């Protein structure tokens, strides 16, 4: 928002600073220097006022790796859990959602 308002203010300044074609005064090099200096100062002020800095060169370490998946295990009688699948089953092959949610 601030950048947009600074741009609009700068455009208004430039259009009002330009002499009208019916003006008796002609354009001089002093006017050009003043206009360029004003534009330069406006650009510096606009860039200094923007606070949307994103530090893209900051190192963020990767998350630790997951522990290696082990062999199937049995946390209780008639329950077989398979870590690679992340699921538990009874010996008949039926899925056990309670044990799966509890362990995985």
CB 56 within 8 A of CB 62: no
Give whole-number Cα distances, 55 to 11, 60, 69, 81, in Å: 31, 11, 36, 44
Residue numbers in the chain where pLDDT is lower than 70:
1-24, 47-55, 69
| Residues linked to residue 80 through DSSP beta bridges, in sequence order | 89
For the record, the structure tokens of 34 come out as 């003043």
Please report, for the chain, the start and end positions of each structural domain, with discontinuous segments joined by +. Answer: 2-18+30-49, 73-103
Residue 89, SS3 per DSSP:
strand
With CA atoms as reference, report the closest residue to 82 among 92, 90, 72, 91: 72
Average pLDDT, rounded, for the chain: 77
Global pTM reads 0.35
């Amino acid at each position: 928002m601030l950048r947009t308002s600074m741009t609009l203010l700068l455009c208004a300044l430039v259009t009002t600073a330009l002499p009208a074609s019916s003006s008796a005064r002609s354009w001089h090099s002093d006017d050009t220097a003043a206009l360029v200096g004003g534009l330069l100062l406006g650009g510096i002020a606009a860039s200094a006022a923007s606070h949307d800095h994103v530090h893209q060169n900051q190192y963020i370490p990767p998350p630790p790796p997951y522990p290696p998946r082990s062999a199937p295990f049995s946390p209780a009688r008639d329950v077989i859990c398979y870590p690679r699948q992340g699921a538990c089953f009874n010996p008949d092959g039926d899925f056990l959602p309670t044990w799966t949610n509890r362990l995985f």
